[in-house]
Chains A and B, each alone.
Chain A
Amino acid sequence: MYRYVAGRLAWTVFAAVAVLSAYFALLVLAPDPDAAVFAFRAAARGADPEAAARTYEQLRGGGALPVRYAEFVSNVARGNFGWSFSRNRPVNAAVLDALPYTLGYAVPAAAFAVVAGYAVGLYGAFNRHTGADRLLSGIAFFGVSVPNFWLGIVCILLFAVRAPEVSVLGVELLPLPSYYRTAVVHEHGFLSAANARQLLLPALVVGTGAVAANARYARGEAAEYVRATFVKAARARGANGYRAAYHALRPALVPLITVLLSDLLATFLAGAYVTEVVFQVPGVAMLSYEALRAGDTPLVVATTLLPVLGVLLGNLAQDIAYRVLDPRVEVNA
């Protein structure tokens, strides 16, 4: 088991370095159209185009390619991703500042996706082809299919612009804020009701797709065990619906783990970019998006490393969990 974990860890490190190097190469070798915009602005001002080109190169922190790559590898090995010219600050600081904003909606959305997704899936498995099952399946299909950007915009219109004023015991419930305000964090802190209130819509939008995906998988996997002998035996011994669901869920968890850790991460990563832009959440996805637009290589690499490591470690954890949940599964280091 330990050899297996060590081997997987080594593979994870190798894969991370390979992905980062490929990113570096792509970013450095890709054409930089912003240089043309800079040149156009300079020419319109009557500035010397060659001097403007030199200035642009210096502003972007240019230099010989091998030197830049060596610096990049050395920085990454030391956990220091260098300087972000587009942020005018260390990359690490920029990422660390952005991370809490992403976690602020991603963690509740993940919890929501797991709890609600499995609950809906199990309910469907035990009540197949009923009206409620069809309704929940319909909602799940809608949740999987609807684009996050559309859902986000509609949620803003419904809950922030057109919602009536609703308060309960002096607590304002509606309307919700139309965009994410960092001022709330500065005034009340991350772990405050005011911040939770403005994270509600982003979490809902990111969570919807994941809930739906989880519900569909859970329903499919649990359905295999609903009529299994051991579930029937449990029922015969007097187990109620919840207890029977527990019995069905236990074997279904093994394949569901695969979904949970890889598909869920993928859903989140894809959804995070859109969600952060629509709700103006200054998180890691927004940081990454803006770094890509600015061609800020060190920042792109750092913001890419996080999800890459997330997926790689997620896969590792998934394999280990698979082994723990089902001891019959063989592992080969």
Chain B
Amino acid sequence: MVATAGCAGLEAPDSGDTLYGPDGEQVTLSMVYATGSPPVTTTMEYIAQRLESLGFDVERNGLPYPDMLAQYAQNSYEGTTALNAGPRDEAVSQEPWDLMGGVGFNAFPRSPTSLRTFWVDVAERAVAQANFFGYNPTEALAPKFERAATTPDDAERRDLLGEVFGVLSRDQPVNFLVFDANIHGFARRVSGLGEPGPSFGYASQGRYFGEEPGVGGTYVSGRSSGAETLNPIRADDTESDARIRLTMDGAYELDNDDEFVPRWFTGYEASEDDTVYEFHIREGLEWGAEFGSMTAEDWVYYITEVHQAEPNWANSLNRAPWFRNGEPIEVTETGERSFEVRLPEPDPFFVLRPALWGAYCLPKGLVAEYREAEDGEGLNRDSGVGELAYTGNLGPYSFERWDRSSVFVASRNPDYYGAGTLFPEGAPFFEERHIQTFGESSTRLSALRAGDIQSTELPPDTVASFEDDADVSVLRTPTAFCNMLAYNQRANGWGELRKPGVRRALSTAVSKPTIAEDVFRGNAAAAYTHQPEYSRWYNDAKVTRYGGPNSSGIGAARETLLTALPEGYEYR
């Protein structure tokens, strides 16, 4: 008996196990994935085996992440190469592919309308800049995103975003797999760690050794990669930020509940229509290198002459939040230590966006020297920038040295503005903070076991052994980073992947709880849409859980597939 696609409800079990296409050949899917992460490699192997059970032949191709993006994600059209260079029927990647693993996108639960760049119609290139997989939603998502971004009505926003994430769960433009958890290993003697949560570590200035806060000791954290730069203008990687942040607190923080936590800024006021935000700068913030006090003039100059400058003379990598519809956002001083941001349209998320959240600033006196000549490279090479000499009392530690490939060293800043105000008197409590880079993961983990470093992130497969270590405490914090398997809906992918039913079938065959529990060893949460379940924008009633705990696996997947595929496909 032959089960033929297009005939809903056919009993599949009596037919063969192999899916044949109209050309009489077994349907082959080309899977590419990024190598280097054992959980990702195992996940891809698991998915490949599940799809083989569904009757496909799966060709696996693992390669380094940058190469994968260059050869498979970027596509070209009329001389332009980008992640969404043109129409999905014409703009295709250098190499053909069907499934792509080892990619993931942050779900931005604080400002989910930022996700437009992934999920609106691939034809809307100006917005859908990251839609490399060629997704065209079954319902128009752009207006929902647009309305959610501007409405002052929070209930309406939740409803709209709930619908968006519901559509994504049903459309399965990618197979949402799991949300990672960050797993931190700390030497047991480190105290004041704070509550695990999405913003874990936002108050790390208060950490100390022992039972009671007291100054002493060197705290070494081990990281798996090094920083790219200490120039805040050109820093867009977490490693650079981790080092800079030891010397500068930034404008403000957000806590685990997304509440504004004062740092350099004491507070803000928003207009009723969420178009005007006025921020207030703390008194007593002093730049180093004789640049005087931090004022609103520094901030306005920095935003307008660095982030918004045309051309981008300083090569700022943090420009995007300071433009709306291609136009710079208006920023003006309202006092010596206050300034306002005037948005062209309402944005209730503005404080939650990375425009000013955690933002750094450079003194006007330092930047202006290079601004007139548009000498961004000169500013970058300025020793004051490279050695963070301007940071004054703005952070808990002061730059000591940076031995590239090895360690970043900062010493306790006795003039720290936050001591006795934001944190207890005497803060920070370590004489020195070191951030040590490790090129080899096993050396980094050995250093934690040996007590040579005080904290590092742990791979899932090592957690159990560290939990048995009396000298190490293990903390898990949820992340909004969603691991995915992208389906290529451009012209060089399997054409049937454009059908939501086919994508649903493939996603149904893959059990997310299995990946979370068996591959990530319980250190991840199953994902069914591009929003974690703890997010306030996740509406369980609207989300369909393909590949969830109640999914009936291969049998159900096969039935869905048979229904979705056109005539000509059959199981034999």
Question: Do the two chains bind?
Answer: yes
Instruction: Kindly state whether residue A280 has any CB partner on chain B within 8 Å.
Output: yes
Instruction: Kindly state whether residue A46 has any CB partner on chain B within 8 Å.
Output: yes
In the complex, are the beta carbons of A34 and B434 less than 8 A apart? no
Q: Residue among B71, B404, B434 with the most chain A CB within 10 A?
A: B404
In the complex, are the beta carbons of A40 and B450 less than 8 A apart? no
Contact of B70 among A35, A181, A183 (CB under 8 A): A35
In the complex, are the beta carbons of A277 and B407 less than 8 A apart? no
- CB-defined contacts of B234 to chain A, threshold 8 Å: 59
* Given A36-B70, A36-B74, A58-B315; A183-B407 close (CB under 8 Å): yes
Alpha-carbon distance between A90 and B129 when the two chains are bound, in angstroms:
36
**Which residue on B lies nearest to A32, using beta carbons?**
B70
**Which residue on A lies nearest to B105, using beta carbons?**
A44
Contact of A39 among B82, B386, B403, B442 (CB under 8 A): B82
Instruction: Kindly state whether residue B423 has any CB partner on chain A within 8 Å.
Output: no
Instruction: Kindly state whether residue B560 has any CB partner on chain A within 8 Å.
Output: no
Report B422-453 residues with CB < 8 Å from chain A CB.
434, 436-440, 442-443, 446-447, 449-450, 452
* Given A35-B70, A280-B406, A287-B405; A40-B438 close (CB under 8 Å): no
Report B272-329 residues with CB < 8 Å from chain A CB.
312, 315, 317, 319-321
- CB-defined contacts of A105 to chain B, threshold 8 Å: none
Instruction: Kindly state whether residue B536 has any CB partner on chain A within 8 Å.
Output: no
* Given A55-B317, A278-B440, A280-B438; A49-B450 close (CB under 8 Å): no
In the complex, are the beta carbons of B312 and A280 less than 8 A apart? no
Expressed in whole angstroms, the minimum distance between the Cβ of A100 and any Cβ of chain B is: 12
Alpha-carbon distance between A40 and B105 when the two chains are bound, in angstroms:
10
Contact of A37 among B69, B116, B320 (CB under 8 A): B69
Instruction: Kindly state whether residue A78 has any CB partner on chain B within 8 Å.
Output: no
In the complex, are the beta carbons of A37 and B66 less than 8 A apart? yes
Contact of B130 among A33, A40, A55, A279 (CB under 8 A): A40
**Which residue on B lies nearest to A177, using beta carbons?**
B452
Contact of B443 among A53, A98, A179, A287 (CB under 8 A): A179
Instruction: Kindly state whether residue A282 has any CB partner on chain B within 8 Å.
Output: yes
**Which residue on A lies nearest to B103, using beta carbons?**
A40
In the complex, are the beta carbons of B73 and A36 less than 8 A apart? yes
Expressed in whole angstroms, the minimum distance between the Cβ of B91 and any Cβ of chain A is: 12
Contact of A178 among B82, B118, B376, B443 (CB under 8 A): B443
In the complex, are the beta carbons of A55 and B440 less than 8 A apart? no
- CB-defined contacts of A42 to chain B, threshold 8 Å: 317, 320
In the complex, are the beta carbons of A182 and B69 less than 8 A apart? no
Produce 1/0 per residue, B512-527, CB < 8 A to A: 0000000000000000
* Given A43-B117, A47-B320; A183-B315 close (CB under 8 Å): no
- CB-defined contacts of A287 to chain B, threshold 8 Å: 405
Alpha-carbon distance between A62 and B129 when the two chains are bound, in angstroms:
25
Alpha-carbon distance between A48 and B386 when the two chains are bound, in angstroms:
27
In the complex, are the beta carbons of A49 and B442 less than 8 A apart? no
Instruction: Kindly state whether residue B150 has any CB partner on chain A within 8 Å.
Output: no
In the complex, are the beta carbons of A87 and B404 less than 8 A apart? yes
In the complex, are the beta carbons of A181 and B66 less than 8 A apart? no
Report A80-113 residues with CB < 8 Å from chain B CB.
86-89, 94, 98
* Given A44-B106, A181-B407; A33-B436 close (CB under 8 Å): no
- CB-defined contacts of A32 to chain B, threshold 8 Å: 70
**Which residue on B lies nearest to A33, using beta carbons?**
B66
- CB-defined contacts of B450 to chain A, threshold 8 Å: 160-161, 175, 178
- CB-defined contacts of B25 to chain A, threshold 8 Å: none
* Given A33-B70, A39-B82, A179-B447; A47-B407 close (CB under 8 Å): no
Produce 1/0 per residue, A141-174, CB < 8 A to B: 0000000010001001100110000000000000
- CB-defined contacts of B446 to chain A, threshold 8 Å: 153, 156-157, 160-161, 178-179
* Given A39-B74, A43-B130, A282-B406; A49-B83 close (CB under 8 Å): yes
Instruction: Kindly state whether residue B380 has any CB partner on chain A within 8 Å.
Output: yes
In the complex, are the beta carbons of A286 and B405 less than 8 A apart? yes
Interface of chain B, helix or strand or loop or mixed?
mixed
Alpha-carbon distance between A32 and B64 when the two chains are bound, in angstroms:
12
In the complex, are the beta carbons of A182 and B406 less than 8 A apart? yes
Alpha-carbon distance between A50 and B319 when the two chains are bound, in angstroms:
13
Alpha-carbon distance between A200 and B153 when the two chains are bound, in angstroms:
66
Instruction: Kindly state whether residue B159 has any CB partner on chain A within 8 Å.
Output: no
Alpha-carbon distance between A279 and B339 when the two chains are bound, in angstroms:
49
In the complex, are the beta carbons of A41 and B236 less than 8 A apart? yes
Instruction: Kindly state whether residue B114 has any CB partner on chain A within 8 Å.
Output: yes
- CB-defined contacts of B452 to chain A, threshold 8 Å: 160, 177-179
Alpha-carbon distance between A183 and B436 when the two chains are bound, in angstroms:
11
- CB-defined contacts of B129 to chain A, threshold 8 Å: 43, 46-47, 49
Expressed in whole angstroms, the minimum distance between the Cβ of B409 and any Cβ of chain A is: 7
Instruction: Kindly state whether residue B401 has any CB partner on chain A within 8 Å.
Output: yes
Report B116-145 residues with CB < 8 Å from chain A CB.
116-118, 129-130
Instruction: Kindly state whether residue A31 has any CB partner on chain B within 8 Å.
Output: yes
Instruction: Kindly state whether residue A3 has any CB partner on chain B within 8 Å.
Output: no
In the complex, are the beta carbons of B443 and A153 less than 8 A apart? yes
Alpha-carbon distance between A55 and B66 when the two chains are bound, in angstroms:
18
In the complex, are the beta carbons of A179 and B436 less than 8 A apart? yes
Report B47-66 residues with CB < 8 Å from chain A CB.
64-66
- CB-defined contacts of A39 to chain B, threshold 8 Å: 69, 74, 82-83
- CB-defined contacts of A50 to chain B, threshold 8 Å: 80, 82
Instruction: Kindly state whether residue A290 has any CB partner on chain B within 8 Å.
Output: yes
In the complex, are the beta carbons of A277 and B440 less than 8 A apart? yes
Alpha-carbon distance between A156 and B114 when the two chains are bound, in angstroms:
45
Alpha-carbon distance between A287 and B407 when the two chains are bound, in angstroms:
14
Instruction: Kindly state whether residue B226 has any CB partner on chain A within 8 Å.
Output: yes
Expressed in whole angstroms, the minimum distance between the Cβ of A43 and any Cβ of chain B is: 4
Report A274-303 residues with CB < 8 Å from chain B CB.
277-280, 282, 286-287, 289-290
- CB-defined contacts of B80 to chain A, threshold 8 Å: 50
Contact of A282 among B116, B236, B317, B405 (CB under 8 A): B405
- CB-defined contacts of B73 to chain A, threshold 8 Å: 36, 40
Alpha-carbon distance between A153 and B444 when the two chains are bound, in angstroms:
11
- CB-defined contacts of B89 to chain A, threshold 8 Å: none
Instruction: Kindly state whether residue A186 has any CB partner on chain B within 8 Å.
Output: yes
- CB-defined contacts of B229 to chain A, threshold 8 Å: 88
15 A-B residue contacts at CB 8 Å?
Answer: A35-B70, A39-B69, A43-B129, A44-B117, A45-B321, A46-B117, A55-B312, A55-B317, A86-B228, A88-B381, A175-B450, A178-B449, A280-B406, A280-B438, A282-B405
**Known A50-B82, A153-B442, A178-B443; further 13 A-B contacts with Cβ < 8 A:** A33-B64, A39-B74, A43-B117, A43-B130, A46-B117, A48-B320, A50-B80, A59-B234, A156-B443, A156-B446, A177-B452, A178-B449, A286-B439
7 A-B pairs with the lowest CB-CB distances in the bound complex, closest first: A33-B66, A36-B69, A36-B70, A282-B405, A282-B406, A43-B130, A33-B70
Q: Which residue numbers of A lie inside 8 Å of B, CB to CB? A: 31-37, 39-51, 53-55, 58-59, 86-89, 94, 98, 149, 153, 156-157, 160-161, 175, 177-183, 186, 277-280, 282, 286-287, 289-290
